[in-house]
Structure 1
Amino acid sequence: MKHDERPDWQPTWRKPVGIIVLLVALTLYAVAIASASSIIGQWHVLLQTLVYIVLGVAWLLPLRRFLIWMETGRWG
């Protein structure tokens, strides 16, 4: 084991901080989407459905790399 590596059993600060950042970011994202609902609500129902499906899945795109960072400290 190198000097700067931690054993697998030692906790790191990344997990609790990552969980807090994730919760705050998802809350802000949900508030932003909810505030845009007055505009989106005026569109055709099929377009609304498509937009909400895309926005509902879009937050998952950066999640994998973020979870890898929480676990390993690397971004990929």
Structure 2
Amino acid sequence: MPVRLKKFIGIVLIVALVMLYALLATTIATLTLAQSPWWVHFLYFLLSGVLWVVPAMLIIKWMAGPVQKNRP
């Protein structure tokens, strides 16, 4: 697969991941944390704000994978 295509697919996947993850995390927080104290909100958003990095790292690792060199 060409490097440019791989990077384009990776960028589209990361943007989609961030948008869907933010919507899901906010929906869960709205439905479950309505009567919780401030520190529960803080911990939830701290953890959910960092958790999206794991799948994004996997996508970036795939994007930066081994480059196939053209052999003569």
Unmatched runs of 5 consecutive residues or more in structure 2: 67-72
C-alpha distance in 2, partners of 1:29/1:11? 26
RMSD: 2.0
**1:2-56: CA deviations, max 9, x gaps?**
xxxx9xxx74311001100110111010111121232223212111111110000
C-alpha distance in 2, partners of 1:72/1:11? 9
Which aligned pairs between 1:1-76 and structure 2 lie closer than 5 A?
A: 11-38=3-30, 39-72=32-65
Q: How many residues align?
A: 65
Identity of aligned residues (%): 22
Unmatched runs of 5 consecutive residues or more in structure 1: 1-5
C-alpha distance in 2, partners of 1:69/1:11? 11
Name which structure has the greater RCO, CA cutoff 8 Å, separation 6+.
2
TM-score, structure 1 normalization:
0.71
Q: CA deviation at 1:72?
A: 1.4
